[in-house]
Amino acid sequence: WKASRGLGGKTTMLALLGHMETAVLGAEVTILGGSGQQSQRVHEAQEKFWKHPNAPLGQLVADPTKYETKLINGGRTVALLASTRSARGPHPQRLRLDECDEIKLEILDASLGQTLSARGIAANTVMSSTHQYADGTMTEILKRATDRGWPVYEWCYRENHVSNGGWADDEQIEGKRSEVTAAMWAAEYELGEPSPESRAIQPETVDAMFKPELGQFG
């Protein structure tokens, strides 16, 4: 998932997905964020759904803790610390990654070995993030998606606008636009390409040095 920062609702959607998977399917779900705190944010957002008047509270083994929610149907959510050791540990059916561009690539790669199908529940991974670094983890994820045929879903604040039945109104959107730089707004809210200004060598300069029509030599 590639979506706007703040106004995209990625964390809430990821939390709702995990909540439904544990409650309906009895799935084991792990959450990994760009930091342990981000993992907890997703879990805390999930906890809010248990406070809904129609929430199936009878499924809870006990009240959710800071890092874990367990259900009597075998469903379980665990918020992981952002480390290779934590990422390599569990083997759930579902892995939910949030703010991937803040996750070190070695931690991401360690986590991708987690999921295993079990109890009739298919293995599945969702990688969710704003794309903010030109040479960051999300850039690598999108490259792998192209190479391996992974589906990529993109949305920005417009899909969440009140005119489309969403929750973001003009005041919220314009308030955020006035707070951030033009470059940040273009990349992180309008879903443009992250600026490569921090690179020592500019990509367009390198491209200008070569003429593919002259042929390629190994």
Report pLDDT digits (tens) over 40-83.
999 999 988 998 999 889 999 999 998 999 999 999 999 998 89
pTM: 0.84
Cβ pair 124, 152 in contact under 8 A: no
Residue 167 vs residues 41, 75, 160, 164, 171: alpha-carbon distances, Å: 20, 30, 6, 9, 11
Report pLDDT digits (tens) over 190-216.
998 886 655 556 666 777 778 888 887
d(CA 175, CA 178): 5
- Local structure of residue 60 (DSSP, 8 states): B
Task: Report which of 79, 61, 60 is spatially closest to residue 14, judged by C-alpha positions.
Answer: 79
